[in-house]
Amino acid sequence: MNQRVAVITGCSSGFGLLSTVELARKGYFVIATMRDLARRDSLDEALLSAGVAERVSVRTLDVASPPSHETFVAETVAEFGRIDVLVNNAGFALAGFAEDVMLEELRRQFETNFFGTVSLTRAVLPVMRKQRAGRIVMISSVSGRNAYPGISSYASSKFALEGYTEALRLEMAPLGIHCVLVEPGSFQTAIWNRKENNAVHAFDPTSPNRERILRYRDYVQKQTRRGDPREVARLIAHVADVQHPRLRYVIGEDARSSLAFRALLPWRLYETIVSRVLKLDK
């Protein structure tokens, strides 16, 4: 196949679904993956509506199951001959103050957001090395540079991803493989709304942090109403094609302002503002 091939993880909803449509529109053949194919209906509807269904193959892939990754990549290359772009989008956000998050919950967060992503990336790298070309797009978050209360598990997994990608970019650039971080702020996706993503004890009436996590959840839900996730999908499609991609692409007004405040303000003042805005001192 001479057509460019992109692999995207976490395509049942959100950025993964929308970026599948955008990359297919740009002429890519997209391998859209998800853990459970029973959740593919929204993707199928979007592809039919956009008129690009023939450019997409929907496959099963559990990012948190590394033993399956090499087989998946081998089968993809055997069928399509190449992988030009890997978009590591699959992930979830575990809500809960650090005191209320159990160690096994933190490990589960890292298995998907970090270790699973690293495993799939490692499986794809030999293919791109052989091609002497490729692009790996990591969907990180502004929380990978600014950690906020109530999402310490999520933020730490994204901090790890940021460091890994910085080093990987330097290692792979001489081979024609570009590694890029996309750092969204708050957008209208389901990542913050799934109850199964809450730490077991996060909203427990006996938790000393219950009122604070409830206030933080309300704040986040208000913020996410502002962002159109299609903007992120269009950025991902741009990053896949641009000749000389930057290391980081920040998107979202809240993300840009957050990073600016963090860079410009002394930590003590920044800490005070965050505490007041999120009403943590009540």
The pLDDT value recorded for residue 204 is 75
The pLDDT value recorded for residue 168 is 99
d(C-alpha 19, C-alpha 231), whole Å: 10
Mean pLDDT of 5-26: 98
In degrees, rounded to 5, the angle at the alpha carbon of residue 196 between the alpha carbons of residues 31 and 115 is 50
Range name among 131-140, 145-154, 222-231 with the lowest pLDDT average: 222-231
CA dist list (Å): 186 to 35, 169, 182, 199:
24, 26, 13, 20
Number of separate helices (H) and strands (E) present in the chain: 10, 7
Query: What digits encode the pLDDT tens for the residues 182-197?
Result: 999 987 655 555 666 7
Query: What digits encode the pLDDT tens for the residues 244-261?
Result: 999 999 999 889 998 998
Q: Exposure of 277 by Cβ count < 10 A (0-12 exposed, 13-18 middle, 19+ buried)?
A: exposed
Mean pLDDT of 134-140: 98
Mean of per-residue pLDDT scores for the chain: 92
The pLDDT value recorded for residue 218 is 74
Query: What digits encode the pLDDT tens for the residues 219-235?
Result: 766 765 567 899 999 99
The Cβ of residue 115 has, within 10 Å, a number of other Cβ atoms equal to 16
pTM of the complete model? 0.92
Q: Give all strands of the β-sheet with 248-251 in edge-to-edge order.
A: 56-60, 29-34, 5-8, 85-88, 134-139, 177-184, 248-251
The pLDDT value recorded for residue 251 is 96
The pLDDT value recorded for residue 189 is 55
The pLDDT value recorded for residue 205 is 78
Q: Is the pLDDT of residue 18 over 60?
A: yes
Q: Which residues are annotated as catalytic?
A: 154
Domains of the chain in start order, with CATH, are: 5-277 (3.40.50.720)
Percent of the chain with pLDDT over 90: 75
d(C-alpha 127, C-alpha 135), whole Å: 11
Q: Is the Cβ–Cβ distance between 66 and 36 less than 8 Å?
A: no
The pLDDT value recorded for residue 208 is 78
pLDDT bracket for residue 1 (50, 70, 90)? low
Nearest to 199 by CA among 109, 111, 95, 92: 95
User: What is the Cα 164 distance to its own chain's centre?
Assistant: 14
Query: What digits encode the pLDDT tens for the residues 199-211?
Result: 777 777 777 787 7
The pLDDT value recorded for residue 82 is 98
Q: Exposure of 231 by Cβ count < 10 A (0-12 exposed, 13-18 middle, 19+ buried)?
A: middle
d(C-alpha 140, C-alpha 158), whole Å: 6
Q: Is the pLDDT of residue 106 over 60?
A: yes
Mean pLDDT of 260-281: 87
Which regions of 114-269 does DSSP assign to beta strands (E)?
134-139, 177-184, 248-251
